[in-house]
Structure 1
């Protein structure tokens, strides 16, 4: 096959998440590159086989979203669940370095220590370009801790998954919800995934900003990109600060409310605005910020000790949580699933409006991902008619003006 019809359609519809799975499936025929305004995107340089195209068509999260499991309890906004908890890492360094309570980092360290996995595939800062990301393979607690904290810019953690699976062993994979969705779909076609990926972890995602978002932060901080020796998007406290460290030792910081609210959130790619599963519904465990509400009922971003929201979605995830709790690696408290909406109101609102936004794509004959099994219709019933109409018309306007 000369061209991947799936990749072309996904790119044309601005539905690409940048996960990199197509590049892994197609080998050297497809590579990942950074395109303006700073998103990771595939570029096809040679013909691909019909077999590779079939795999891409069935796994690309811009084409199809993995249906949520029906084996567990399920909520239209929060997905499948066995346990809903809040908690934090008991190691104060892990808790401090993480983006919320450090639970994901603590679980990964515990999985390595107990032999559940022998390595972790995750994201960390690129040492040569600190505002960008690289995919790394960690085998020690120290290496995992180096990658703690959110990284709000492009990453393609599945671009090397074929090679990772070929190496065998027992893998823990950490990625965005769309990355985990793609890997779950890939598992239905490649038995090596279930054989070697023993653990899939994710988090609630507010959307993937372009790299221009961090450039806006640097400009506001008065730091030139070439001056940056290290860059932290979050962490070292909860919610922590964005922090640029220059080669001469200067450190400039910006609050989370300002870095995300004023800059990064304005650069989120279009696919994220219609995401039916921004809560890691296909993961074994998904974590998020367990925000405390302020006097108005909105999440407070005041600095305090980190607290994670934890959803165990599978038997594998439930067992890991029980083992980590028993070993006093994490401290947890069970909560009712209804409390999540108080901690993550923006996520609930976005899920309820996905159907209205996707309807605009259909109206304008634009490509859209298959979303069957993610309860988009059920979630939509919880939104007001006014909000759905406003989002439908807004999406129509963006499509018509090519301003997705």
Structure 2
């Protein structure tokens, strides 16, 4: 894996010149790879299936009750707690997860590492909207015998499942998969944008937090926080940033436009944020959890009975409602995007191409969102090359204004679009 010019991780090396069949079968976006339904049918044959969440034993909402797990994470603390509990029980010897890196030494803010203690797992808590890859840690898994868990977003978890089908060593040693709900992946340029808007030199940034937690504020009030080389800090709430609307898709990886898995359907257990009231207003953070593995279901139920976890069961509709925007983008939006003319390999998805019944304004939203994703990479690269950060910032503000008019009926343009909507209905 290597960096490209837009701050994204891409495959590199001789294998790309003439990809093997095995290589094609292990890329999560390859049409030659098994899809999420096929993988889950093999992994969880006894579970009932929901077309949105996949197979599951039970769904929950809540948080970790014991110790400092909840305070240490972005949400309710469940991801790190489950990883540490598996380690405590002796089920695994290490956890592959994303943690802060030494930017000066590694050339990146975050990377995958293998943690073998509770303290090390806690050091990797919180959200990391940054490009990473599994290449180095998978090499370590092959070299060091043991049992391992992997924490990752849906495409990473799917990729590990595909690799386990090809590589018997990985299949034996990676025993647990912990999934994260995902909206989309950002490029490394997102950090540069934070720095530009906070009046800092991107080269002086030494650490970044995307979601700094404050129990006194709603959980969905994100705050970007940068630590600079001189020890000083800069921060800003996302809603004041030119590209702070997550749904607009700034710096989104292009592969994310062709993903249909919101909740990591091939993981043993998956975690997201409870983005519905009253939970989204609780600054301490709350998780939603989808459990697929009977083993992990027993672990969770035992912890609930002992008062270690404050969880209660919910139905599939509740989980879907907490991620409503993500499901629109990955189902309705994906169906429309699959009708667009494009070059190269056509993805094979579980969503059928189609646009029948999709209002003209929703079509325009999906077109504009894709344009923002495409343009943000190029405008930020041009701004860096020309040493003119405001070139990107001004473009981002203007595009966000247009996106807000389309999506939220903001400003005069939004009101005009509302009138057009009414005239067509």
Counterpart for residue 232 of structure 2:
250
Deviation at 1:306, TM superposition (A): 0.9
- In the superposition, relative to structure 1, how do residues 222 and 48 fare at CA in structure 2: closer, same or farther (>3 Å)? closer
Deviation at 1:87, TM superposition (A): 1.5
Q: Does 1:59 align with 2:59?
A: no
Q: Distance in 2 between matches of 1:212 and 1:156?
A: 17
Is the Cα contact below 8 Å between 2:150 and 2:178 reproduced in 1? yes
**Which residues in structure 2 correspond to 1:10-29 (within 5 Å)?**
none
Q: Deviations over 1:42-64 (max 9, x none)?
A: 222x46898x7221110101213
Mean CA deviation greater in 323-332 or 77-86: 323-332
Counterpart pick for 1:169 among 127, 146, 156: 146
Mean CA deviation greater in 241-250 or 388-397: 388-397
Q: Distance in 2 between matches of 1:222 and 1:118?
A: 43
Deviation at 1:384, TM superposition (A): 4.6
Q: TM-score, normalised by structure 1?
A: 0.78
Deviation at 1:111, TM superposition (A): 1.0
Counterpart for residue 275 of structure 1:
259
Q: Distance in 2 between matches of 1:307 and 1:396?
A: 28
Unaligned runs of 5+ in 2: 378-425
Q: Distance in 2 between matches of 1:225 and 1:48?
A: 32
Deviation at 1:241, TM superposition (A): 2.5
Unaligned runs of 5+ in 1: 1-31
Is the Cα contact below 8 Å between 1:199 and 1:316 reproduced in 2? no
Counterpart pick for 2:299 among 320, 340, 346: 320
Q: Which has the higher helix share?
A: 2
**Which residues in structure 2 correspond to 1:287-366 (within 5 Å)?**
287-293=271-277, 300=280, 302=281, 304-353=283-332, 354-360=334-340, 363-366=341-344
Is the Cα contact below 8 Å between 1:290 and 1:343 reproduced in 2? yes
Q: Distance in 2 between matches of 1:287 and 1:311?
A: 7
SS of the residue aligned with 2:36? coil
Q: Deviations over 1:103-136 (max 9, x none)?
A: 0011111111111111001111112359621111
- In the superposition, relative to structure 1, how do residues 284 and 95 fare at CA in structure 2: closer, same or farther (>3 Å)? same
Q: Does 1:40 align with 2:19?
A: no
Q: Distance in 1 between matches of 2:124 and 2:182?
A: 17
Q: Deviations over 1:152-178 (max 9, x none)?
A: 110002454144134221101011110
Counterpart for residue 380 of structure 2:
none
Q: Distance in 2 between matches of 1:136 and 1:347?
A: 28
Counterpart for residue 390 of structure 1:
363
Q: Deviations over 1:46-95 (max 9, x none)?
A: 46898x72211101012136322243222222222211101211235221
Q: Deviations over 1:288-324 (max 9, x none)?
A: 0001248xxxx95x56221001001232432332344
Q: Distance in 1 between matches of 2:234 and 2:367?
A: 37
Q: Distance in 2 between matches of 1:223 and 1:343?
A: 35
Is the Cα contact below 8 Å between 2:131 and 2:188 reproduced in 1? yes
Pick the structure with greater CA Rg.
2
Aligned length: 358
Counterpart pick for 1:183 among 146, 157, 160: 160
